[in-house]
Amino acid sequence: MPAVAWGLEILRATVATVLLFTFLAVVAAMFGVLAERKISGWIQSRLGPKHVGPQGLLQTVADTVKLLQKEHVTPVNADPVAFNVAPLIVPVAALLAWIVIPLGVPFGVLLIGRDLNIGLLFFVAMTSLIVIGVLLGGWASNNKYSLLGALRSASQMISYEIPLALALLTPIMLAGTLSTVEIVDAQRGGFLGVGRWFLFGGGHGLGGLVVGVLAFAIFVAAATAETFRTPFDLPEAESELVAGYFSEYTGMRFALFQLGEYGELFAMAALSSLLFLGGWHGPGFTSTLWLFVKLFAMVFFLMWVRWTYPRLRLDQLLNFTWKGLLPLALLNVLLTGWVLV
């Protein structure tokens, strides 16, 4: 490849990284925390943050400044290298997952880090790396609560990753591709602009509607466990484990774990919008605005679930995933094949 082409590729990668990290840090983390507080306050009949800025809008800015000023404390008996590397793995893995998330085609230009023909495989691989940072941080902390939270995350991952992957097979089979861009394009058109959404079966009749709804429900349940959200927030479980795997972390290292979690939350919401809700295609017109409307609607739903349902026990989670989601996901893959044939 010519030197000029290499330079353009490096420039493109640098710009995409800056934009994605800015989106994760500002929108996903700072706005996500504020939205979480406001939504939880609304659900619990209270106001939420009110004092810093108009209606509390600058509360997360104040929290960020506070965390930047906090001292970085490494426990005496912790593994210093692993302890300090773990908080970097989580946000970097969440950042890499966003590379294959297309944000629309404004003015005929596709907004995506890289349109890979194995985009969904890449996304699942990157989000799976987050548990490595969680395990490393919990083990390196030399704290029994942190270690227990880390081991819980490992047991969760074994249980929910398989139904999650099987749920992804339905839009893959309906679209015939692993590319996130091509999956969105396959959902264009139909009745009122939503008739070919894979949530409604992609135009495959009643059978398609059944497999689409089942795949979406399985995906949302598994994605909730993937992002450590209630009722599947067992790795953190502040009422049981103080803060779980990051209970020994302070300052910005604590914030990096939060950044990774909210980055993955928004990534899962974006992926569900792309795979099942038509992406940037919507009733009446096609616009990037549609994608963000669907994305924030999914984020709102996941936050609503968090502040509505109690936490499950670990054995209840494993029973739900292994005995409930997994057989249902396998059945749905068979039904999808039958609908296509």
pLDDT by residue (tens digit) across 203-213? 888 988 999 99
Average pLDDT over residues 186-198: 81
Does residue 215 surpass a pLDDT of 90? Answer: yes
pLDDT one-digit tens code per residue, 13-45: 777 777 777 776 667 778 888 888 888 888 888
pLDDT band at 70 (very low <50, low <70, confident <90, very high): confident
How many CA atoms within 13 Å lie on the side-chain side of 277? 21
Q: From its phi and psi, is residue 335 left (phi > 0), alpha (psi between -120 and 50) or beta?
A: alpha
What is the pLDDT, as a whole number, of residue 242?
Answer: 67
Report the alpha-carbon distance of residue 101 to residue 98 in Å, rounded: 5
End-to-end Cα distance, the chain: 44
The predicted pLDDT at position 184 comes to 92
Q: Taking 80 as the threshold, does the pLDDT of residue 174 lie above it?
A: yes
Find the range with the poorest average confidence among 51-60, 97-106, 243-252: 243-252
**Arithmetic mean of pLDDT, 65-94:** 86
The average confidence (pLDDT) of the chain is: 85
Quick check: 90 pLDDT over 60?
yes
Residue burial 30-67, b: 16+ Cβ < 10 Å; e: rest: bbbbbbbbbbbbeeeeeebbeeeeeebebbbeebbeeb
Does 36 reside within a domain?
A: no
pLDDT of amino acid 30: 80
- Residue 11: per-residue pLDDT: 77
As given in the structure block, the two tokens for residue 120 are: 């969904």
- What residue has token string 């500002």? 26
242 domain residue, yes or no: yes
Report the Cα 314 to chain-centroid distance in Å: 21
The pLDDT-based confidence of 3 (bands split at 50, 70, 90) is low
In a domain, 25, yes or no: no
List C-alpha distances in Å: 318 to 154, 159, 167, 222: 12, 6, 18, 12
Q: Is residue 283 part of a domain?
A: yes
Residue 277 lies in a domain: yes
| Least confident stretch, 2-6, 227-231, 330-334 | 2-6
Comparing 220 with 194, the larger pLDDT belongs to: 220
State which amino acid sits at residue 183. I
- Tokens for 238, please give them: 């502040």
Q: Is residue 20 part of a domain?
A: no
The answer to whether residue 45 sits within a structural domain is: no
Please report where in the chains the tokens 């295609």 appear, as a residue: 281
pTM of the model: 0.89
CA dist., res. 248 & res. 267, Å (int)? 27
> Domain tally for the chain?
1
**Domain ranges, residue 198:** 72-340
Q: Is residue 126 part of a domain?
A: yes
Q: What is the pLDDT of residues 288-334, one digit of tens each?
A: 888 889 999 999 999 898 888 888 888 888 888 889 999 999 999 99
In sequence order, the 6+-apart residues with CB closer than 8 A to the CB of 163 are: 218, 221, 222, 321, 325, 326, 328, 329
* Mean pLDDT of all residues in 97-119: 84
